[in-house]
């Protein structure tokens, strides 16, 4: 194992560790560690809610999840010699749940969770259809996941970091705050909100303190969205063996990482759709000097995925177009088309005995593919979602015999105000 | 080869054939052929513009492409016993370019084309950046495609029908016309238009004639968009060996098919992004009685893709978020995020010597993957696009050495008014 | 389709065609066609027994199959400028069953066959266990095969030419005849024989006649074994899109091809284990001057397989070692180890209701993988055989519930003297 | 991580650990640990030579490797309730190098080795061509391996246990000893030997001592070959996620495991062809009562491989037939055919600048495929070996330009007496 440069003790809170990470983006958060180009190192990562979500059969923790506290990120890691305009090369050598800890109260200790967040606490992709809080706990056995809350499925996880990115420059941060404020201003009271403005409450800013802390806390960007620096991209294909190229906006690049996922379907559709966990990630970093200009990568990561994804060869797929459930025609809206495709998949799965929430949680967590199949055929986009049939322990394809009925078990824990 | 039930003579226009197909959707277009459940049969398909696009080095044909004439569909094929509420099972046994004809003036005779349509004649996914007409001609050698207009790439095509679907009922057709008219009404003079209303000019309606023809031509839906009946879904994964389940809305189901593609990337991003061709398709049909209710499939196809797609194991990927090129923040807009990801890929490819148009045409035609990676992280969706590195005959990954420079050759033919 | 340079009429015998092929290897068989480097062309191929095996429920045709008549090869194709010492580059652009003919008496007209050859007429890999003649007829639907003789399985074929190669020089032919005669001499009366000496009876030698015919017929090598020139390698991975590099031993290279297979498992274990068929193959040829020395390829083909094999992701595998069924320990004998692995697979399949012969025929025909897993652990080699589980329409994995019992149907036709 | 039931301290010899494993097969070696059906547990494994091979640039350790000491196995693990006639189900949940130890003197601490064993100390697959001792040290970075001794290649390892199996019964052990002694007797002085008889010297037998130790040491079977109980099968496809079914010959089954490989090509052709390492393996066990009879599995493991193998999509393949290098024709000898195919691959690689030994070491270690392509075409078997082209950092396919020349670096360490 490479040298452990960012350790986390599972028995302590994220803010009580030897090194303190952060949960906001800001150029003035000091590097926690400095490494050299070519270095390999291990990083521990805390699950995004720092232990607020439990391995139990209640969804109260999801109902009341403290969204101002996320994401608990490890870093920043400064890379010697990195300058704005460079590309930071990050190899994901390995990653997984918390090493050597197979049970315990912290997600990543042999288990993880997927949540449907309620409309008034985050919401999600299908919040109009699923306004309440639900949860599924997944048990890990090697690379495979199963859940007492979603029985009759078992799949190999597609393990990846949900969030990794470089620090923004002051200029870039300013741009984010301006444009997101403008969006919020169009409907400031919307539930769920259109975007999340800076929020000093619960900010964690590494080693900052005093006036610097207060200033940065007031300015720093929230970590929910992906942006020019990478960030919370939730790209399920950033598996072991991937190489990622990030634009560098500040001296040292200041890479941070967290929000590890044991598995996730394309879209992470339940908001916390991945199987969330703490764990470790082994990285190697390097620099391509001046690479942003050389390769035309001024924003957003480019990457080369690893080659050990779980392989499936038979899929059941659903399609959707950009017509709302109410029958309104929208113009080339792939977001909507994917919602409709996912709703079709959910409807289908309920015919076998699953509750809609179980089906929704499954689509968030299993390694499903979500494709932008057609984006030009006015006025309808066509999006498609593909479920690997082998993850079910019963026949899932349509046939003249009709669907078998499974026992849905105890179902997904539910909590409502 | 299964019995040829819908022959096309390559030397004759689509309207001069033994059996006349159609280019509009309407329940009253009579079945051209009737088959039984369990039957296998061969269908010839004409390329979607019926020969208006040529194997030459001009894009004038794209500039002036007759959009009112598309898509030239083969069918309808009535299936005995199929009733509204059933699911029509369609197996794609085989498909390919025009058999036994390796050269000739018709796309599918050993070659195909990809077009960037000009803003005032269809437009496309990136029409703001690419308002003019361009074309690429692709030559087929077995399963592989190469182009004099986009040199240094060669790939195995992912052959599929761009368009297949069942006939709408009168009620469903009415719903389409109403909702699309409502959308058009929000900006009736938009260029390109928001949607395409019924258009009697150039309508082809099978064996209909006289007053029936006129009535149906005035009501029938255009074939551009995918809808509840399947239609122009442009799903690149509907390859040989796929099984598709279509909802049935009229007696006999009345299946039609056309718009064959030698290859296409996810999204078919240049509008006519696929490699368009005429050819053949071998189908087998069956019925699941009452399947729409049994399986909850009231609209849009569900399907199981075949297992002989071209396999690639190394990919270079680009990401985008829902911020416009002008810096405006949009709310969870995957359509925009995919545009931004594709623009990033295009920018990248130009660093190697391609023109932006060559890069755009390539992304439309090659078997690229387009994924909805993150759809919930307010306010940014994250979409990703994956290019197989093996299709290039030069190293395409970023490195400290910088990009090699290729000779872009004669480039993509361009025509502007 | 590329120009058809070697046509075959399905209604005529192989010896009554416009161009006559050959069924022996000899440098003096004249080229049937001459092509240029870079040329693409289509070749028709006759099934290896020229129609002697029928689509029926008897195995009498296998029992009495005329082994002296095989293989009916198309060619030779001379390539202008090819000289001994060059490498001949052969691209397999496309191949498949007889085009446009979906039914008829000739294998390749919508069907093919697999045979277990009796001990006294060819034998096979497991002839000690399976000394009698059996047959299975397979029906083609697009890319998939099913059989009334082996029910409950369906698979995508891995289509390839069983036999392709260049002509030997006189010196090379002499070497073959000498070494094979030496082997035969060690046990000249063995049944089945150790090797097949030259046999003038039933020889077909292209356009040769008279004294030349007689001389060549007496010297020419049989086509059963693969040798330095490629030949009957039965490599299932030579699928569409493959590029093969053959050593050139005579001026013009004189390439010949035949013995097309709709599918085959590794080893082609029932002797005629593949699904035999006639059909077409589209080739493109080129030359690497002096390539044999440059690349150290003095014998046997090297090749790069295509990338559209049928994909399977779940396998049930069996292992075997080099101990005979009688318990005798052999030294590192992978041939024996693979026999034992295949016998284990057959034993297993009989627990579900198949007859041993059905299981054996299935292993020959389906796209199974056969690997040399361990070849050094004295005294036991370890060979393994992998069956894709998805080809069965019932659960094939071991479980605590025990095997389901399928209805084996009419079984495999059997004939014995 | 599952409970660690068999710990090893990297600072102590295999015989000085808390629990002592074994390096021979015998029914009377007592179980080291007892588990229940359904249990998951972690096992540490020592590299097969217990640290005798070093991370240096000499091959003296290979030259003098103590073959009587291998393989250092962890176990036996008794499973409660397992009886002869049952099938033991073993799930490989996870495995890898020594956790949390990235550097150190023990293979598995961030590195591993491949050796060519000299003719007089083990030999190997191609010992006639490679009679001397050579070594390659491989460095691990996450899942990838590189070597200073074989430069210009980098690959994702296909991690697996080389050796796993159940204890033999007394009757089975007797059968082994009898048949192997009979083989040895046919040429008792052969170098390398035909097989390895029981050898009390260096025997490790768990907790046995005194007269029992002496008796068992004299009778116990060596661990080199795979046999009916599984054992040293060296099946590279037993990756994470695999499920293996072993026959049970003694009460408790008494499973043992060791000889972990970071990677290996099919055949493990250099004898110690895999990348050898110590590490951990997480197993879950279960029982199918009476499964040997129910499923016809009386000997040799059957298994279902995992689905996260490294994926490669472009291969360069070599073929060989059963003719010796001296030109002698052998009868259907796949062992020889695979030797010839591997020698062809080695010859080819030397044209790019590798030494033959570097090429041989590479074929042993990289995830190459070795297939029994044709086993029936008298008198020649055809075996094929497939190299993934992506593991090379230079173009490896043949072309008209001829091979590039790489710098072979310091080469593979060599030692000769």
- Report domain extents, chain C: 3-304, 315-415
- Helices C334-350 & D334-350, crossing angle to 10 degrees? 120
Q: Give the separation between CA A309 and CA D156, rounded to whole angstroms.
A: 12
Q: Is D399 on the interface with B (CB under 8 A)?
A: no
Instruction: Give me the half-sphere count of Cα atoms (radius 13 Å) on the Cβ side of residue A169.
Output: 13
- Return the pLDDT at B271: 80
pLDDT at residue number C273: 81
Nearest CA in chain C to B103: C1
pLDDT digits (tens, 9 = 90+) for C112-165: 999 999 999 999 999 999 999 999 999 999 999 999 999 999 999 999 999 999
> Which of A306, A319, A291, A335 lies closest to A387, judged by CA?
A319
Spatial contact of D291 and D90, defined as CB atoms under 8 Å apart: no
Q: Reply yes or no on whether the pLDDT at C1 is more than 80.
A: no
Query: CA torsion C155→B237→B226→B228, rounded to 10°?
Result: 40
Angle among Cα A170, A172, A173 to the nearest 5 degrees reads 65
- Cβ-defined contact of C183 to D235 (cutoff 8 Å): no
C-alpha span between B104 and B109 (Å, rounded): 5
Dist CA D368 CA A325 (whole Å): 51
Least confident segment among A242-256, B215-229, C168-182, D97-111: D97-111
Q: Which is it for the CA torsion D19, D24, D25, D30, positive or negative?
A: negative
Pair A249, A27: CB distance under 8 Å? yes
Which residues sit opposite D304 in a β-bridge? D243
pLDDT of residue A385: 97
pLDDT at D417: 80
| pLDDT of B3 | 92
In chain D, what residues touch B312 (CB-CB under 8 Å)? 313
CB contact under 8 A, A1 and D142: no
Residue C141, chain B, CB below 8 Å: the answer is: yes
- The answer to whether B143 contacts chain C (CB < 8 Å) is yes
Question: How deeply is A28 buried, as exposed, middle or buried, from its count of CB atoms within 10 A (0-12, 13-18, 19+)?
Answer: middle
Contact B351 A235 (CB under 8 A): no
Tell me what pLDDT residue B272 has: 85
Of all residues in chain C, the one with the smallest CA distance to B4 is: C100
How much is the pTM?
Answer: 0.96
Q: Using CB atoms within 10 A of its CB, is residue B46 exposed (0-12), middle (13-18) or buried (19+)?
A: buried
List pLDDT tens digits, range D323-375.
Answer: 999 999 999 999 999 999 999 999 999 999 999 999 999 999 999 999 999 99
| Residue owning tokens 């049944």 | C191
How far is the CA of B346 from the CAs of A289, A371, B204, in angstroms?
Answer: 21, 19, 38
Nearest residue on chain B to C94, alpha-carbon basis: B142
Q: Complex ipTM, two decimals?
A: 0.97
CA separation for the pair B271, B342 (Å, rounded): 14
| C-alpha triplet D77, D83, D87: angle, nearest 5° | 80
Nearest to B226 among A224, A371, A380 (CB): A380
What are the distances in angstroms from CA D101 to CA C114, C184, D108? 54, 59, 8
User: What radius of gyration do chain B's Cα atoms show?
Assistant: 21
Pick from D295, D319, D378: which is nearest to C196 by CB? D378
8 A C-beta contact, residue A333 and residue A379: no
Question: Burial level of D115, CB count in 10 A (0-12/13-18/19+)?
Answer: buried
β-bridge pairing D4-6 and D40-45: parallel
Residue-wise pLDDT tens digits, D303-337: 999 999 999 999 999 999 999 999 999 999 999 99
By C-alpha distance, the chain D residue nearest A280 is D100
Q: How far apart are CA C162 and CA A351, in angstroms?
A: 47
C-alpha distance from residue B375 to each of A184, A190, C379 (Å): 18, 18, 58
The predicted-structure confidence for A307-318, as pLDDT tens digits, reads as follows: 999 999 999 999
B-C CB pairs within 8 A amount to 80
Query: Is B364's Cβ below 8 Å from some Cβ in A?
Result: no
The pLDDT assigned to D111 comes to 97
The chains found to touch B (3+ Cβ pairs under 8 angstroms) are A, C, D
With CA atoms as reference, the chain D residue closest to A39 would be D141
D132 within 8 A of D271, measured Cβ to Cβ: no
Compute the distance between CA of residue B281 and CA of residue B261 in angstroms, rounded to an integer: 11
Give percent of chain C with pLDDT exceeding 90: 97
Q: What is the pLDDT of residue C46?
A: 98
Which range, of A50-59, C99-108, C181-190, averages the lowest pLDDT?
A: C99-108
Contact, D127 vs D325, CB < 8 A?
A: no
Cα–Cα distance, C35 to D26 (Å, whole number): 66
Which DSSP symbol is given to B313?
A: -
Interface with chain C: mutation pick from D374, D402, D405, highest number of C CBs within 10 Å: D374
Nearest to C11, CA basis, from C106, C98, C103: C106
Encoding tokens for residue B322?
């829902």
Spell out which residues of chain C touch residue A314, defining contact as CB-CB under 8 Å: 313, 390
List subunits contacting chain C, requiring 3 or more Cβ pairs under 8 Å.
A, B, D
Helix, strand or coil, per DSSP, at residue B152: coil
A16 Cβ neighbours under 8 A, 6+ residues apart: none
First to last CA, chain C: 46
Contact in structure between A35 and A88 (CB atoms under 8 Å)? no
Give the CATH class of C3-304.
mainly beta
Burial of A229 (0-12, 13-18, 19+ CB in 10 A): buried
b/e D265-279 (16+ beta carbons within 10 angstroms → b): bbbbbbbbbbbbbbb
Residue ranges, chain A, pLDDT below 70? 1
Supply A290's token pair. Answer: 């001046």
Q: Are C115 and C135 in contact (CB under 8 A)?
A: yes
Mean pLDDT of C94-116: 94
Q: Is C73 in CB contact (< 8 Å) with chain D? A: no
Taking residues D64-92, what's their average pLDDT?
97
pLDDT over threshold 80, residue D285: yes
Q: Distances in Å between the alpha carbon of B333 and those of A135, B226, C223, D206? A: 26, 20, 63, 64
Close Cβ partners of B178 (under 8 Å, ≥ 6 residues apart) = none
DSSP-assigned letter for residue B390: G
Give D-chain residues touching B311 at CB under 8 angstroms. Answer: 311, 313
pLDDT averaged over consecutive 10-residue blocks of chain B (417 residues)? 93 97 98 97 97 97 96 98 98 94 94 96 94 97 96 97 98 98 96 96 98 98 97 97 98 98 95 92 98 96 96 96 97 97 97 98 97 95 97 96 97 93
- E strand or H helix at C138: strand C133-141
Out of D101, D110, D156, closest to residue A308 by CB:
D156
SS3 labels along A150-181: CCCECEECCCEEEEEEECCCHHHHHHHHHHHH
CA distance A338 to B372: 8
Say what the pLDDT of residue A271 is: 81
Between positions 299 and 358 of B, the ones with CB within 8 A of D are 311-314
Residues from chain A contacting residue B270 (CB–CB below 8 Å): 376
> C151-175: string of b/e by CB count within 10 Å (b at 16+)?
bbbebbbbbbbbbbbbbbbeebbeb
What pLDDT, on a 0 to 100 scale, did the predictor assign at position D35? 98
Q: Which residue of A has its CA nearest to C311?
A: A313
Window 160-199 of C, Cβ < 8 Å to D: 175, 179-180, 182-183, 192-196
Question: 3-state SS string over D212-272?
Answer: HHHHHHHHCECCCCEECCEECCCCCCCCCCCEEEEECCCCCCCEEEEEEECCCCCECCCEE
Please report how many Cα atoms fall inside a 13 Å half-sphere around the Cα of residue B243, on the Cβ side. 16
Interface chains of chain A (3 or more CB pairs under 8 Å): B, C, D
């Amino acid at each position: 194992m490479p040298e452990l440069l960012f350790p986390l003790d599972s028995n302590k809170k994220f803010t009580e560790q030897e090194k303190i990470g952060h949960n906001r983006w800001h150029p003035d958060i000091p590097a926690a560690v400095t490494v050299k180009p070519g270095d390999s190192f291990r990083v521990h990562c805390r699950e995004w809610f720092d232990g607020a979500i439990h391995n139990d059969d209640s969804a109260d923790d999801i109902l009341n999840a403290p969204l101002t506290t996320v994401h608990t990120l490890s870093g920043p890691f400064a890379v010697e010699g990195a300058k704005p305009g460079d590309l930071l090369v990050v190899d994901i050598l390995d990653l997984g749940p918390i090493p050597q800890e197979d049970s315990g109260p912290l997600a990543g200790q042999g288990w993880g969770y997927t949540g449907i967040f309620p409309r008034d606490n985050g919401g999600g992709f299908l919040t109009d259809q699923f306004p309440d809080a639900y949860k599924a706990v997944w048990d890990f056995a090697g690379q495979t996941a199963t859940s007492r809350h979603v029985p009759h499925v078992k799949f190999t996880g597609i393990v990846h970091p949900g969030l990794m990115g470089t620090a923004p420059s002051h200029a870039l941060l300013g741009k984010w705050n301006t444009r997101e404020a403008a969006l919020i201003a169009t409907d400031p009271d919307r539930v769920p909100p259109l975007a999340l403005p800076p929020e000093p409450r619960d900010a964690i800013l590494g080693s900052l303190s005093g006036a610097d802390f207060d200033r940065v806390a007031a300015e720093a960007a929230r970590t929910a969205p992906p942006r020019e620096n990478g960030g919370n991209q939730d790209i399920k294909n950033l598996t072991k063996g991937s190489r990622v190229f990030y634009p560098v906006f500040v001296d040292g690049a200041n890479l941070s990482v967290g929000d590890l996922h044991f598995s996730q379907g394309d879209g992470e559709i339940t908001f916390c759709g991945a199987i969330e966990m703490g764990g470790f990630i082994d990285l190697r970093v390097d620099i391509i000097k001046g690479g942003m200009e050389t390769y035309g990568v001024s924003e957003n990561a480019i990457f080369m995925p690893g080659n050990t994804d779980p392989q499936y060869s038979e899929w059941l797929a659903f399609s959707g177009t950009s017509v709302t459930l109410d029958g309104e025609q929208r113009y080339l809206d792939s977001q909507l088309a994917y919602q409709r495709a996912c709703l079709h998949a959910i409807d289908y799965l309920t015919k076998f005995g699953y509750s809609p929430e179980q089906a929704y949680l499954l689509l968030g967590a299993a390694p499903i593919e979500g494709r932008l199949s057609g984006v030009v055929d006015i006025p309808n986009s066509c999006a498609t979602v593909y479920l690997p049939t082998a993850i079910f322990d019963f026949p899932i394809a349509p046939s003249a015999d009709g669907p078998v009925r499974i026992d849905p078990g105890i179902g997904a824990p539910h909590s409502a105000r």
